[in-house]
Amino acid sequence: MYPREFDYVAPGTLDEALAVLASNPGAKIMSGGMSLIPMMKLRLLSPATVIDIGRIPGLDAIEDRGDHLAIGALVRHAQTASSDLVTTYAAALAQAAALTGDVQVRNRGTTVGAVAHADLAADTTAAVLALGATMVARSSAGTREIPASEFFVDTLTSALADDEILVELRVPKSGEGESSAYTKLGRRGGESDYAVAGVAAWVRKTNGSVSDARVALTGVGSKAMLSSGAMDAIIGSDGSEAAIAAAADRAADGISVLEDLYGSEEYKAHLAKVYVKRALGAALS
């Protein structure tokens, strides 16, 4: 199908993009276009104006800022997946990016765009939640920081306001005793497709016990979400196989699991357990 007619604007600066956004309510930002264009072609979205931020300089870098990594709005999935910095300090995000779509999607789609899109079965959403990342949003009124734990509101709905552009993702660098991992079952059996269920885990070990952890699920509920059951069970444990199994058993505690074309509620709850076990196992190994 063809999209409905729309105006296309490609600003050369962020300020220009923000001004166009402010004066065109309902306009949509395009970064990689890997989700926006299919949705427009299916007429699930019909914005009157598309603002392509792809030509704005300075948004395509991954920077080491001491205690965190800053990932610019135009960093592609492939760049995130192959970055030494991300692999070393935020492994779950590099792994999620590597398992996103196919080569074309990873070369066009952006890490920040995937977060902004907030698909309930996306990979990077779980990774940024588990890693405790912060989203940096700009509007003509200024800049605000949104913690990942407050960012995902519902299916395809984030805390981003209509006049805001997500300009950067800040990911705390894993330090001494900290590590993370992402793993999933993809929709086509292999791993490179949206998650039927995916899990990102971040852990901190201090003196032989798990002193802190975040475990995030994707594909299981209406949005990427933390598994409080798994986190309660693993924090304070020795991180042994038995402790991981106990945490996995509580993966779907208190979570409203959604049935979809790819699995029943029961199957998804089962997958959540299987993948919590794998992700925690990988992070703690």
Ligand X SMILES: Cc1cc2nc3c(=O)[nH]c(=O)nc-3n(C[C@H](O)[C@H](O)[C@H](O)COP(=O)(O)OP(=O)(O)OC[C@H]3O[C@@H](n4cnc5c(N)ncnc54)[C@H](O)[C@@H]3O)c2cc1C
Tell me how far the alpha carbon of residue 160 is from its chain's centroid.
14
Q: Which is nearer to ligand X, 112 or 210 (CB)?
A: 112
Q: Which secondary structure element, helix H or strand E, spans residue 26, and what is its range? A: none
- Does position 73 interact with ligand X (CB under 6 A)? The reply is yes
Q: Which is nearer to ligand X, 124 or 210 (CB)?
A: 124
What region, left, alpha or beta, does residue 66 occupy, with left being phi > 0 and alpha being psi -120 to 50 degrees? Answer: left
Judged by CB under 6 A, the residue of 72, 101, 221, 229 near ligand X is: 101
Judged by CB under 6 A, the residue of 17, 18, 24, 32 near ligand X is: 32
Q: Which is nearer to ligand X, 166 or 280 (CB)?
A: 166
Q: How far is CA 150 from CA 98, 129, 165, 216, in A?
A: 25, 9, 16, 13
- Does position 17 interact with ligand X (CB under 6 A)? The reply is no
Number of residues that bind ligand X (CB under 6 A): 31
Interior/surface letters 168-191, b for 16+ CB within 10 angstroms, e for the rest: bbbbbbbeeebbbbbbbbbbeeeb
Binding segment toward ligand X, per CB under 6 A, in 7-15, 35-43, 61-69, 264-272? 35-43
Q: How far is the CB of 92 from ligand X (least distance, A)?
A: 13
List the interface residues with ligand X, window 109-168 (CB under 6 A).
109-110, 112-114, 116-117, 119, 122-124, 160, 165-166
Q: Which residues contact 142 (CB under 8 A, 6 or more apart)?
A: none
Q: Which is nearer to ligand X, 97 or 282 (CB)?
A: 97
Largest CA distance in the chain: 61
Q: How far is the CB of 80 from ligand X (least distance, A)?
A: 11
Residues 260 and 276: their CA atoms lie apart, in Å, by 20
List, in sequence order, the alpha helices (H) in 135-192: 148-151
Q: Which is nearer to ligand X, 196 or 251 (CB)?
A: 196
Neighbour-count burial of 206, counting CB atoms closer than 10 A to its CB (0-12 exposed, 13-18 middle, 19+ buried): exposed
Q: Which is nearer to ligand X, 124 or 183 (CB)?
A: 124
Judged by CB under 6 A, the residue of 35, 134, 183, 227 near ligand X is: 35
Beta strands at 49-52 and 28-30: parallel, antiparallel or unpaired? parallel
Question: Two tokens at 63?
Answer: 């920077």
Q: Which is nearer to ligand X, 234 or 272 (CB)?
A: 272
Q: How far is the CB of 106 from ligand X (least distance, A)?
A: 8
Judged by CB under 6 A, the residue of 11, 33, 147, 281 near ligand X is: 33
End-to-end CA distance of the chain: 48
- Residue from 130, 92, 154 nearest 231 by CA: 130
Residues of this chain that bind ligand X (CB under 6 A): 28-36, 38, 73, 100-101, 105, 109-110, 112-114, 116-117, 119, 122-124, 160, 165-166, 192-194
